[in-house]
Each structure stands twice: as structure tokens, then as C-alpha cells.
Amino acid sequence: MGCWSRNRGRLLCMLLLTFMFMVLEMVVSQVTSSLAMLSDSFHMLSDVLALVVALVAERFAQRTHATQKNTFGWIRAEVMGALVNAIFLTGLCFAILLEAIERFIEPHEMQQPLMVLAVGVAGLVVNVLGLCLFHHHSGFGNNSGHGHSHGGHGHTKGVRSKSSRPGDSDHRSPGGQRPDQEETNTLVAGSSNSNGLKLGGTDPEKPRTNATDVQMNGNVIRESDNTDLEDEADDAQKAGQLNMRGVFLHVFGDALGSVIVVVNALVFYFYWDSCPEGRFCENPCIVDPCKALVEIINSTQGTVFEAGPCWVLYLDPTLCIVMVCILLYTTYPLLKESALILLQTVPKQIDIRNLIKELRNVEGVEEVHELHVWQLAGSRIIATAHIKCEDPTSYMQVAKTIKDVFHNHGIHATTIQPEFASVGSKSSVVPCELACRTQCALKQCCGTRPQAYSEKDTEKAPTVSISCLELSENLEKPRTQAENMPAVVIDMKKMPNKQPESSL
């Protein structure tokens, strides 16, 4: 059992409970031939299905490593599980609404309220248990969701590691503002950055060869591993949080349903005068073609019993409609959030304008284009960018700073493509130097011109007059491969107009 995550255990537990309860309800409904109980048991069945979906998604999402079919691993499955659950809930609300309207048109009298009460109480117990199991995933509390909470951890860890390390770094930043800088992999040739640090300070420095270039992230401090463990567990939980929220909402909806059943049964038991057996009585609440007959009999015979107050019959559908409203209100945020993740939008904790501004402010960066930031799942945010720089030699330093900027915004998986501006291009609005060929513009993810899109056809991008391949060839020919000289390229730019590349 040690390998199973806590969530999975809870899900299985709840699944078993719900399944058993569903079977119980079916049996009771057959015994009492109560249709209401049968439909309630089918509600439980939908609950079982939701739990199965959540379980499958949870299982999938544990496999976060890359596979042949999916280079990102399957962690997105939990977002999809959440969306499926949210949609199921909405569909269920719909069906309940339909039944409630039916009951308004044709009110039903509840048979054997005591039995219904008993089953309702049992159902409520099961659901409250479920609520307890999943309550910390409720999303009503302080769960920050895909939070930026790494920030605290990361930086404190950095500070700790800084203090324990024998000081051999030149880049110690003051005040722990950027403590992680020391741990940074340096891409700067010949820098004395001390990322050579190893475990527990036993080897203060990695035996360096000529190149100080290659430093691994893996060398970063071992002792921070302990806190890493808690964070790992934390993060795994955070990643599955959407999924669990979906489950919680389902259980919550079921609990509300049970509450309604119990309340209804109680009210029926205490207030409803049903027609006694064997006596002639009428039910004034139901449209009855025999009413005329009843009038006649009323005048001839003595008393005609009347069934109990009519409002009791309308209590059930009213409560159902209230429940549907509550459910829809609580499901909508989950629906929206999972849909936004699937739409590859920028996660809400990232301020992208600020990010762009900071990136552009980095020394050596001329322009940023094709910046894409999106959330994979949980706290994993991925970014790609093309950075246009002036100078290839100072690129490594610039790259480090860029990674810093991203890190500070909470984005840790980045792919940065440097492009070196050709001499003479002053405008900040130059096309991507390394784009695919021109006719591929349509198939590129995001096109070239933001304003030139027609309503219907977004994929029609204006054609670029020369092939980007030719352009890059022109740029790259003068650069020899064997030397590292700064690239000064006389650029034969044939393009008449500059198209804005930045999609921001």
C-alpha cells in the first residue's frame, strides 16, 4: 500500500462505499417498488462513474515521465478528468432539473416515508464520510492551487545552501535576493561560477576540466533534498488537485441530494395525511378526472377524506431546483479553470506583460518574440521564447539572466532560442530569423501578423515575400563554423516591409 498515493486510496475507498450503497438502494427499491429510490440509485451510479473517471485520471497522471506517445508524460490527464467530471455534473444537474419540472407538473406522493428516511440517512452518512475524505481538496479553503509557493521554498533552500557552502563563488548575490544564482548552471565560458558544488559539502568543487561550461543542475546541493521530499509530495498533491476538486464536487452534490431526501421524508412523515386504506378519498393536489364524481359522492355520503396539504408535494421539486442552482454555482469555477488550462492560456498567476517587460530590459536582449507561456498541469508551467540578441559571445550571460527572470515568475521549464540580429536592423519589429519556410507560415502555431487576420480564416497569413530559409542562409553563410568570432553579417534584406512578429 505504500506505493499508492493517498488520493488513490481515498478514491478507492469512496468508490467501494458508493458502489455498495448503490446496490443496497437498488435492492430496497425493488422490495418497496419505489421508483424514487431506483432513480436515486442511478444517481449513485453516476457518482460511481465519476469516481472511476477520477481514479483513471489519477492513475494516468502519476506517470509524469516522457513516453513514446506523449513527450510530456500523462500528467495532463488529471485536468481532463476534472473537466469530464465537471461536465458530467452539469449533465446530471440538467437531468435533475428535468425531473423536478416533471414533478411540478405531476406531483408524486411519497410512499413509505419511513423507509425512504432510513435509506436517506444512510446515504447521508456515506456522503458525509466522503466529504471528510476529500474536504481538503474542496477548493473553498485556502488551497492556492497551482501556487507560486515554490518561491518560498526555493529561495530558502538557496539561502541554506549558500551558507553551508565553502565560499568559492564570485557571484554571491547580496541579501539573498537571488540566492539561486549560485546554483545556476553557468553557460558563461570560463566563469568561476561555483556550481560545482556537491553533496553535503564533501567535495567543495567539482573537478573541472578546461571547460567550466558544463555544469549540471544535478550538482546542486544534496542537503536541500530533505526539504525537497516534502515539496515533492506537496507538488504531486497540487498537481492532482483539480481532479480531486471534481470528485469533491460530485460527493458534495450527492450529499445535498441526500439532505433533500431526508428533509423531504421527514416533512412527509409528519405533515402529510395520506389517504387511508379502503376509504374513499381524493387528492386535491393532483388533477383528477374523477373530481366530478367526487362532488356527487360528497353530496350523498358523509365525509370524504382529503389527502394532506398540497405544499408538501411541491417541496421536493423546489428543493431539487435549489440544489441544482448550488451545484451549478460551485461547478462553474472548476469547469472554467480546467477549460482554461486545456486552452493553453497563460496561467493566472503569471503577469505576462510584466514578464515581457523584464525580458526586454535584460541587457543584450533586443527583442522577444514567439513567447508562449502555458500550464501543463498543477504547478508545471512551460515557456518558449525566441530572443533576439545582439552579440553571440555574450549570449551565455544573457541566457542565464533570462532564465533567472523566468524563474522569478515561477516558470521553470523553458526553451529559449537565441537569434542574432543582423546588422542594420534597427526596428524592433523584425520577423523571426529562423522561421520555417514561407509557405509554412500557415502551419506555424501562431502566424506572423496579429492585425491582418480576417474573421473567418485565421490560418491565412499574409505571405512573406522571400523565403525565410533564404534569409537565414544569407545570415549564416559568413559565419564559419570553426570560429567563434562575433558575427557581423551584412544582411541582404529583401523584405520591403517589416511585419510585426511579436504576438503580444
Partner 1 sequence: MGRYSGRSFRLVFMCVVSILLFVMELAVAHIGNSLSLASDAFAVLSHLLSMVIGLFSLRASTISHHRKSTFGFLRADVVGAFGNSIFAVALMFSILVEAIKRYINPQKTEEALLVLLAGIVGLFFNVLNYVILDCCYCSAGRPLEDPGTAAHCDSLNIQHEPEETMRKEKKSEALNIRGVLLHVMGDALGSVVVVITATIFYVLPLGQDDDCNWQCYIDPSLTIVMVIIILSSAFPLIKETAIILLQMVPKGVNVEELMSKLAAVPDISSVHELHIWELISGKIIATLHIKYQKDRGYQDASLKIREIFHRAGIHSVTIQFEAVDSPESLEQKDTLSLCSSPCISKSCAKHLCCPPRALPVAHVNGCAEHNGSPRLDMYQSQGRGRPELSDVAIEVSLDGRGSDHGQTFTKTQGDQCYVNSTHF
Restricting to residues 82-141, name those near partner 1 by CB under 8 A.
83-84, 87-88, 90-92, 94-95, 97-98, 101-102, 105-106
Q: How far are the Cα atoms of 44, 388, 476 from residue 395, in angstroms, in the given order?
A: 60, 10, 17
Closer of 70 and 428 to partner 1 (Cβ): 70
295 to 314, contacts with partner 1 by CB under 8 A? none
Q: Which of 126, 307, 327, 385 binds partner 1 (CB under 8 A)?
A: 385
Closer of 16 and 66 to partner 1 (Cβ): 66
For residues 131 and 252, give the distance between their C-alpha atoms in angstroms, rounded to a whole number. 7
Residues 152-191 vs partner 1: string with x where CB under 8 A? -xx--xx---------------------xx-xxx-x-x--
Q: How far is the CB of 440 from partner 1 (least distance, A)?
A: 4
Rg of the chain over all Cα atoms, to the nearest angstrom: 33
Kindly report the number of other CB atoms within 10 A of residue 393's CB atom.
Answer: 13
Closer of 159 and 259 to partner 1 (Cβ): 159
For residues 488 and 415, give the distance between their C-alpha atoms in angstroms, rounded to a whole number. 25
Q: Which of 142, 217, 299, 497 binds partner 1 (CB under 8 A)?
A: 217
Query: 330: closest CA among 406, 262, 261, 248?
Result: 248
Grid coordinates representing 391 are 552579440
Q: How far is the CB of 94 from partner 1 (least distance, A)?
A: 6
Contacting range for partner 1; rule: CB under 8 A; set: 110-118, 166-174, 288-296, 478-486: 478-486
Asked if 322 interacts with partner 1 (CB under 8 A), we say no
Q: How far is the CB of 478 from partner 1 (least distance, A)?
A: 10
Closer of 289 and 302 to partner 1 (Cβ): 289
How many helices (H) and strands (E) the chain has is answered by 12, 5
Q: Is 437 helix (H, G, I), strand (E, B) or coil?
A: coil
Asked if 285 interacts with partner 1 (CB under 8 A), we say no
Q: How far is the CB of 310 from partner 1 (least distance, A)?
A: 16
Looking at residue 267, its amino acid is V
Q: How far is the CB of 7 from partner 1 (least distance, A)?
A: 13
CB within 8 Å of 408: residues ≥ 6 apart: none
Q: Is 239 helix (H, G, I), strand (E, B) or coil?
A: helix
Contacting range for partner 1; rule: CB under 8 A; set: 120-128, 163-171, 265-273, 383-391: 383-391
Contacting range for partner 1; rule: CB under 8 A; set: 263-271, 302-310, 358-366, 451-459: 451-459
Q: Which of 364, 412, 425, 493 binds partner 1 (CB under 8 A)?
A: 412
For residues 374 and 381, give the distance between their C-alpha atoms in angstroms, rounded to a whole number. 6
Q: How far is the CB of 89 from partner 1 (least distance, A)?
A: 9
Asked if 425 interacts with partner 1 (CB under 8 A), we say no
Q: Which of 23, 293, 413, 490 binds partner 1 (CB under 8 A)?
A: 413
Q: How far are the Cα atoms of 151, 312, 373, 384, 385 from residue 414, in angstroms, in the given order?
A: 17, 62, 9, 5, 8
362 to 381, contacts with partner 1 by CB under 8 A? 370-374, 376, 379-381
Closer of 198 and 493 to partner 1 (Cβ): 198
455 to 474, contacts with partner 1 by CB under 8 A? 455-460, 463, 466-467, 469, 472-473
Binding-site residue total for partner 1 (CB under 8 A)? 152
Contacting range for partner 1; rule: CB under 8 A; set: 135-143, 304-312, 397-405, 491-499: 397-405
Q: How far is the CB of 391 from partner 1 (least distance, A)?
A: 15
Closer of 71 and 299 to partner 1 (Cβ): 71
Asked if 388 interacts with partner 1 (CB under 8 A), we say no
Asked if 78 interacts with partner 1 (CB under 8 A), we say no
Q: How far is the CB of 380 from partner 1 (least distance, A)?
A: 5
For residues 315 and 377, give the distance between their C-alpha atoms in angstroms, rounded to a whole number. 43
36 to 55, contacts with partner 1 by CB under 8 A? 38-39, 42, 45-46, 49
Asked if 256 interacts with partner 1 (CB under 8 A), we say no
Q: How far is the CB of 181 from partner 1 (least distance, A)?
A: 7
Q: Pairing between strand 380-389 and 365-377?
A: antiparallel
428 to 447, contacts with partner 1 by CB under 8 A? 434, 436-440, 442-447
For residues 413 and 399, give the distance between their C-alpha atoms in angstroms, rounded to a whole number. 14
Q: Which of 40, 231, 282, 358 binds partner 1 (CB under 8 A)?
A: 231
For residues 263 and 305, give the distance between their C-alpha atoms in angstroms, rounded to a whole number. 26
CB within 8 Å of 163: residues ≥ 6 apart: none
CB within 8 Å of 242: residues ≥ 6 apart: 78, 79, 81, 82, 145, 334, 337, 338, 341, 377
Q: Is 386 helix (H, G, I), strand (E, B) or coil?
A: strand
Bridge partners, residue 420, by sequence: 389
Torsion of CA 265, 266, 272, 277, to 10 degrees: 60
**How open is the CA angle 94-97-102, to the nearest 5 degrees?**
130
Q: How far is the CB of 271 from partner 1 (least distance, A)?
A: 26
Q: Phi, psi at residue 209, to the nearest 5°?
A: -95, -160
